[in-house]
């Protein structure tokens, strides 16, 4: 029983990593964006408070003002990147379909316990891992849409 579980658990861990990686990176990026926005809001309040004081604080006001400009520019760049980002979830569905077909074959080849079955088992496992990597890359970094796709969907082309 344990010998059958090894290929199944291996394939399952690859699929779990494929699903969890975009989710975890999205959560971490959202937290850093929230921290940046909170820091920008605090710096804006600080500039307003320092302006109500004497002119001796002018150098600090200018310093915080420059920092605030950089923070606003970074927030703008992140928001623009978020608007332009696309995901192609169909690539992950193709990977799931390949696993639906591949896992029973892996188990079958494992149970046959012949030299040619082991060769096919390893070839199929390497193929599934390569397709998982390609599918995740395609889902996270899809090709840029063509002008025809933009016109058919009614969205303006980025750029």
User: Per residue in 13-35, pLDDT tens?
Assistant: 766 766 766 666 666 656 777 88
In a domain, 101, yes or no: yes
Provide the domain limits for residue 98.
Answer: 2-145
In a domain, 155, yes or no: no
Distance of alpha carbon 64 from alpha carbon 68, whole angstroms: 6
pLDDT > 70 in the chain, percent: 73
- Asked if 138 contacts 88 with a C-beta cutoff of 8 angstroms, the reply is yes
The domain total for the chain is: 1
pLDDT tens, 81-122? Answer: 777 777 788 888 889 999 999 999 999 988 888 889 899 999
How high is the pLDDT of residue 63? 86
């Amino acid at each position: 029983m344990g010998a059958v579980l090894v290929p199944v658990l291996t394939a399952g861990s690859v699929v779990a990593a494929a699903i969890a990686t975009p989710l975890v990176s999205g959560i971490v990026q959202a937290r850093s964006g929230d921290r940046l926005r909170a820091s920008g809001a605090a710096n804006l309040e600080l500039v307003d408070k320092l302006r109500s004081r004497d002119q001796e604080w002018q150098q600090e006001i200018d310093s915080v003002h420059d920092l605030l400009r950089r923070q606003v520019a970074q927030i703008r760049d992140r928001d623009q990147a978020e608007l332009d980002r696309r995901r192609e979830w169909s690539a992950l569905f193709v990977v799931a379909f390949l696993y639906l077909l591949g896992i029973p074959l892996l188990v079958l080849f494992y149970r046959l316990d012949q030299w040619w079955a082991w060769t096919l088992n390893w070839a199929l496992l390497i193929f599934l891992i390569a397709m998982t990597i390609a599918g995740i890359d395609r889902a996270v970094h899809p090709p840029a849409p063509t002008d025809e796709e933009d016109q058919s969907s009614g969205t303006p082309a980025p750029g």
